[in-house]
Structure 1
Amino acid sequence: MRILINIFTNFPLVAALLGVLIAQGLKPFIHKLLHGKWNIASVLSTGGMPSSHSASVMALTTAVGLRHGLSSSLFAIAMTLGMIVMYDAAGIRRHAGEQAMAINKLEAEFEKHIESRGPSHHFHWKKSKQLKEMLGHQPTEVLAGAILGICIGVFTWRLW
């Protein structure tokens, strides 16, 4: 029980957790606003607006900066971690998602080609599970998550 009390009195940790929860909770509403339809499953998905990774690390970074100062080593560590996570979300993970889209498209085209050859051909094609395409974020989604995270960090600091 004491561990839980210690965790919930650590306001940078609470800010980071709130960053994830609030960003994920906003995704269905933003999806509705942008696309005109609800996507409740987006609460549990990666990718989309806003980036919960960015919101979480920037809430943490902001909270650490407010508690320990912008010239502290802890802030430097949090900021470096945040920059790496946001770069990864907008770069490497987004590119992996784009590659998954291309592979899924190639696989679908190959399957059509095999089916067009007719049943006389005894080539067996077993379609693999479709790769997940929503992995990363557009830069605007990362930026929105970062701004949300900063606001959450400041709001959490004000509450403490």
Structure 2
Amino acid sequence: MAFLPKIFRNEILNVAITSWFIAQALKVIITLLTQKKLNLYRFVGSGGMPSSHSSMVMGLSTAVGLKNGWDSALYGVSLVFALIVMYDAAGVRRAVGKQAIILNKILEDKQKHRQIEEGRLKELVGHTPIEVFAGAFLGILIANILI
């Protein structure tokens, strides 16, 4: 492993990236099972089950706690960061998605009467609380497996 650059040997970073990757892959699998179609866009898209943002930050935070101690300043910082990201995913970003649904409906209604230049807004932006929880649980699990 000496031939790999040091960044690739960073266990904490590897946990965070692996947690994100697995969450994104699960979105593709869940979409395949529920909608009976392969949608590879789900691998890079936002929103959906599980939250890859939550998985990544909780994997990061858990890995920091496991490596540096639960009473370390670095764990405290990483946990606060994780909680902010998860709150944003379930709060602000979810609200943006709900607004996009309403605005898209307005656009559809107006297009029936006259030409509108605006395209549809992305509706799958945020997460439900269960999607955030599932992502956080996945990150914690991955960190405990890899560290």
Q: Same fold (TM over 0.5)?
A: yes
Other-structure match for 2:144: 154
Letter in 1 for 2:75: F
Is 1:16–1:57's contact at 8 Å kept on the other side of the alignment?
Answer: yes
Alpha-carbon distance in 2 for matches of 1:34, 1:12? 33
Is 2:90–2:127's contact at 8 Å kept on the other side of the alignment?
Answer: yes
Alpha-carbon distance in 1 for matches of 2:24, 2:75? 25
Other-structure match for 1:46: 46
Write the deviation string for residues 113-133 of structure 1: whole angstroms up to 9, x where unpaired. 23xxxxxxxxxx332121111
The aligned runs of 1:116-131 (5 Å cut-off) are 125-131=115-121
- The number of residue pairs the alignment matches comes to 145
Runs of 5+ unmatched residues, structure 1: 115-124
How does the TM-score come out when normalised to structure 1? 0.85
Other-structure match for 1:28: 28
Are 1:91 and 2:91 matched, yes or no? yes
How does the TM-score come out when normalised to structure 2? 0.93
Runs of 5+ unmatched residues, structure 2: none
Is 2:107–2:116's contact at 8 Å kept on the other side of the alignment?
Answer: no
Are 1:71 and 2:48 matched, yes or no? no
Look up the SS of the partner of 2:5 in the other structure.
helix
Identity %: 46
Q: Which moved more, 1:9-18 or 1:87-96?
A: 9-18
Alpha-carbon distance in 2 for matches of 1:75, 1:12? 12
